[in-house]
Amino acid sequence: MGCGMKVSVIGASGRVGKAAAFSLAEESVVSEVVLLAREKSLGRIQGEALDMNDAMAAKDIRVAITPSSNFEDLAGSKIVVITAGAPRTSDMTRMDVAKPNAKIIAEYSRLIAKYAPESIILVITNPVDVMTYVAYKASGFPRSRVIGLGNHLDSLRLKNLISKHFNIHVSEIHTRIIGEHGDHMVLLLSSTSIGGILVKDFPQYQSFNVETIVDKVKNAGSYVINKKGATEYGPAFAISNTVKTIINDEKRILTLTTFLDGEIDEVSDVCLGVPVKLGINGVERVISVKMTDNELEDFKTAAKVVKKSTEEVMASLDEDVKD
């Protein structure tokens, strides 16, 4: 195979997992994608792998796509993406599935620590901020190597909406959502810029309704789930984008979930979405952003809410995960 790295996806029979695996297989920096699923889903992921192989041949891409239900196949992975989890229907909150998902994440994190002890874990399963905390504790990995997709997708959704409103190319939009990947997400409006100019200085800002935009981002996932049953392409590309940033050691600043230890207004012992500098070893550092008083207040509320949920979920797990 090429000189790229091995990436594994746990939960690859699911919609986000298979879309992410497909998107990862296309990345030139990835030499092997392992599709991992439970024994009962092995036939399905074998079919997915064959189908993906045909697509790669059409694009002249040489990549190994390995379907497996054997966790020993995690060995040598640079990154392990976890998308396994109980499904969330449009009437369920992300917290409704927190406790059952925490058991799944704890179990898989231990297996990752056993078979791929040098890897970076990228958690997708919701509620992603709480699940990242569970993966951090259960794996015993340093915090730099346990990351959640956090607000990356929220921030991409926001970029899209701002691009549409101002009718300016999406690559010119610099904006960020931090906090919880959920109801307590915080739009950093004060530092949002378009082509280097603060968004508030644009004439179209007069008709820019911040509350409506935030609501649209908050409900974007449920809206898609309602229409087509699941989100796939958005999360898949947000995942492959994050993986590529790590493998290429790009040092980009993405808004991902990480364990906080007082870097932002002394918020600690909780995993939340914040801007992080990302490189080959995972999170290099948390970027402390300048916020208005209101933004900071909202961020602290998000921290409080996620911490409370995390404590509830951790209390439901075995003793050895809580250490």
Ligand X SMILES: NC(=O)c1ccc[n+]([C@@H]2O[C@H](COP(=O)([O-])OP(=O)(O)OC[C@H]3O[C@@H](n4cnc5c(N)ncnc54)[C@H](O)[C@@H]3O)[C@@H](O)[C@H]2O)c1
Smallest gap from residue 20 Cβ to ligand X (A): 9
DSSP state of 28: T
CA distance 160 to 172: 11
Binding site for substrate: residue ranges? Answer: 88, 94, 126, 157
Cβ distance to ligand X smaller for residue 84 or 260: 84
- Distance separating alpha carbons of residues 174 and 166, to the nearest angstrom: 13
Least Cβ distance, residue 129 to ligand X (angstroms): 9
Which residue's CB is nearer to ligand X, number 199 or number 260?
Answer: 260
Q: Would you list which residues are annotated within the binding site for NAD(+)?
A: 11-17, 101, 124-126
179 φ, ψ to 5°? 95, -135
- For ligand X, the closer of residues 236 and 264 by Cβ is 236
> Which residue ranges are tagged as binding site?
11-17, 88, 94, 101, 124-126, 157
> Could you give the CA distance from residue 177 to residue 156 in angstroms, rounded to a whole number?
9
**What residues are labeled active site?**
181
Question: Could you tell me the smallest distance in angstroms from the CB atom of residue 15 to ligand X?
Answer: 4
If 0-12 CB within 10 Å is exposed, 13-18 middle and 19+ buried, where does residue 37 land? buried
Strands (E), the chain: 5-10, 30-36, 64-68, 79-82, 120-123, 146-148, 173-174, 177-179, 185-187, 193-194, 197-198, 252-261, 268-279, 282-286
Backbone dihedral angles phi then psi of residue 162, each to the nearest 5 degrees: -65, -40
Binding site for ligand X (CB under 6 A): 11, 13-17, 37-38, 41, 83-88, 104, 124-126, 128, 149, 153, 181, 230-231, 235
Give least dist CB 37 to ligand X, A.
5
**Residue 183, number of CB atoms within 10 A of its CB:** 13
- The CB-side HSE value for 294 (13 A sphere, CA atoms) comes to 5
Nearer to ligand X, 13 or 139 (CB): 13
Residue 60 to residues 21, 52, 101, 144, 298, Cα–Cα distance (Å): 17, 12, 38, 35, 48
Between 124 and 135, CB nearer to ligand X = 124
Least distance to ligand X, CB of residue 47, Å: 14
